[in-house]
Amino acid sequence: MQHSGAKLISTAITSLDGYIDDEEGRFDWAVPDAEVWRGPDKVVYSRPLDAVATPRTRLEREFDPEAVRRMKEAADGDVSGPGMAQHAFRAGLVDEVHLLVFPVVVGGGKPGLPRGVRVDLELLEERRFGNGVVHLHHRTL
């Protein structure tokens, strides 16, 4: 799936069993160290969130596939955002998937990848960090 313009990148920090937080909403196990990660500008799609606490991050209330397509065409860099993943996967807009898998099993919580959607992927790169975190970089087929 080749697109002109920027790529839509789905990025998730997950436990080994695939959750971005545990059943109580905690994600204190998922704090990346300085070696792990500095990413592109991000867009977070959330209704309940009042503000975003990370730099280079914009908060949007509603997911609009056409707006995302326009953003991809106009962006200089890549477009990323964990909250947009479910909608973007369903709309077929995701170009790449980055997973940072932490060495912990939390047993339940919010899934890091959308449920009920099949996407075939090709592994482009993997990297292991000193703290046991593994970065998996895939592209959609």
Query: pLDDT tens across 59-76, in order?
Result: 555 556 666 666 666 555
pTM here is 0.66
Angstrom distance (rounded) from CA 103 to CA 60:
31
Phi-psi category of 64—alpha, beta or left, where left has phi over 0 and alpha has psi -120 to 50? beta
- CATH for 78: 3.40.430.10
Output the pLDDT for position 13: 87
In a domain, residue 94? The reply is yes
Angstrom distance (rounded) from CA 26 to CA 19:
11
In a domain, residue 105? The reply is yes
**22-38: average pLDDT:** 76
Provide the number of structural domains found in the chain: 1
Q: Which domain holds residue 127?
A: 8-25+37-140
The predicted-structure confidence for 64-108, as pLDDT tens digits, reads as follows 666 666 666 655 555 555 556 777 888 888 899 989 899 999 999
Q: Name the burial class of residue 57, with classes exposed (0-12), middle (13-18) and buried (19+) by CB atoms within 10 angstroms of its CB.
A: middle
Average pLDDT, the chain: 76
| CA angle centred on 50, ends 46 and 53, rounded to 5° | 90
In a domain, residue 3? The reply is no
Angstrom distance (rounded) from CA 49 to CA 35:
28
In a domain, residue 116? The reply is yes
Higher-pLDDT residue of 52 and 107 is: 107
In a domain, residue 1? The reply is no
In a domain, residue 30? The reply is no
Output the pLDDT for position 74: 59
Give the tokens for residue 107. Answer: 């047993």
In a domain, residue 97? The reply is yes
Output the pLDDT for position 27: 85
Exposure string for 19-37, b = 16+ CB within 10 A, e = fewer: bbbbeeeebeebeeeeebe
